[in-house]
Amino acid sequence: MDGRTETAGGSARFHEGRDGLYINGAWRTAAAAERIEVVDPATEQVIARVPAGDARDVDAAVQAARAALPGWAATAPARRASVLEAAAELMAGQREEIAATVTAELGAPPAFAAAVHADLPTAVLGSYAELARGHAFEERIGSSTVLHEPVGVVGAITPWNYPLHQVVAKVAPALAAGCSVVLKPAEDTPLVAQLFARILDEAGVPAGVFNLVTGVGPVAGRALAEHPGVDMVSFTGSTAVGRQIGAAAGGAVKRVALELGGKSANVILPGADLARAVNVGAANVFANSGQTCSAWTRMLVDAARYEQAVELAAAAAEKYVPGERLGPLVSAEQRERVRGYIRKGVEEGARVVAGGPEAPEGLASGYYVRPTVFADVRPEMTIAQEEIFGPVLALIPYQDEEDALRIANGTVYGLAGAVWGADQEQAVAFARRMDTGQVDINGGRFNPLAPFGGYKQSGVGRELGPHGLAEYLQTKSLQF
């Protein structure tokens, strides 16, 4: 861990621009003098300070975006694609720096930071370069020509758990569509967003087309969501904040995209490969220290094999050693929140078979939580209904498929899920009845071109691939 921290904190290139906001193609001083401290969650040490932008900075960024919008919207899609391609190439070349940045400000283990936090957004950015070049921005329907035009100025508000991927998942399709953007990244993880701004600048994104304002949510985020010069708000975060943003956007009659919480079910049908399903399911929950909105945090197993699954899950948790394979949570506040949920599970009668609320042994610093597995979880328990956002897995038994479906659909969320079955047709049939936006069948791999988004209180709209591009386009029909 010491070597990781030294590498991250010691790079002179690491936080170029960290003392300014990126507005209208240049780094500029924020209106207010306040700063946000960025803390390494593994060492609890401050590694950087960034501006706490306010409504004045947001207004300047929105004005720059509005001024740049006509020129970028009129730019040929092939040219927009070339700029995105150049940015993707720069990202690939700076993989090590991106990974080190995410490791330092989020706490992600280095290998995971490189493979997921660096490589995935690079691939997504490249995919939107291809989509910009290949999308039919004009189509003929009967006697009409239908135009696909950019929605306008986009206010993007992103979370800390996947700090670059979530930025790219919004900014890339917006730029591909011809929109201009003002980004407000999460205050816990602003450094990789600053690095991304530098990359876009170097790739040739025109001044004002992309703007970055760091700041806290209730100030900069709110100002961006409510700004009359913003045509669309794209937000990823908690359902509670999403409701507020949705209400503000709806009141202003502007477009809104919300990617919110989840409490996804991992349904293991009778006859499925139990050991594989449990181990892959545990890995899914403990990846990124459980800080994944689409994590399969509820594992549903038929009663006949339930105790065997509990034993397998407890054994799997032992492989995720805090400080090694399992990184810290992003902040002290998040650590206490997760430990509070673990204590709540114990209070409500769930059985701890791995982990628990106690601090991990042998770690003098860092916001670590022990990977925790609960058995004897009832569907109505708090830990089976609310999003914990930490390395906590709840195992729930079911009696038959109808009971499993009732439990799987029995939350306010519907973001993701998984189904395992000996027969693929049976698994697909079950997945079709799940009220959720994305389901992996027998360990199907994440597809960055497939639409990502949720049912119910998990959000509005879709990200990634052509469906993600469509979110940033509006249609106009010309009749002849």
Catalytically annotated residues: 259, 293
The set of residues, in sequence order, having a beta carbon less than 8 Å from that of 441 and lying 6+ positions away, is 418, 419, 424, 427, 428, 431
Which one-letter DSSP state was computed for residue 158? -
Question: Which residues are paired to 23 by β-bridges?
Answer: 26
Question: Which residue, 420, 465, 426, is CA-closest to 439?
Answer: 420
Interatomic CA distance for residues 49 and 179, integer angstroms: 30
Residue 278 CB-density burial (10 A; 0-12 exposed, 13-18 middle, 19+ buried): buried
Q: Quickly list DSSP for 307-347.
A: HHHHHHHHHHHTT--BTTTB---S-HHHHHHHHHHHHHHHH
Quote the CA–CA distance of 245 and 320 in Å, as a whole number. Answer: 36
**Helix/strand/coil for 256:** strand
Within 358-417, where are the H helices? 382-385, 401-408
CA-closest candidate to residue 90, choices 126, 63, 62, 58: 126
Cβ proximity of 249 and 156 under 8 Å: no
Nearest to 352 by CA among 370, 368, 373: 373
In degrees, to the nearest 5, what angle opens at C-alpha 459 toward C-alphas 455 and 463? 95
Nearest alpha-carbon partner for 196 in 215, 170, 176 = 170
- The whole-angstrom separation of Cα 342 and Cα 357 is 6
Burial of 111 (0-12, 13-18, 19+ CB in 10 A): exposed
Q: Report the amino acid identity of residue 89.
A: E
Residues 6+ apart with CB under 8 A from 80: 72, 132, 175, 176, 178
Tokens of 209: 């087309």
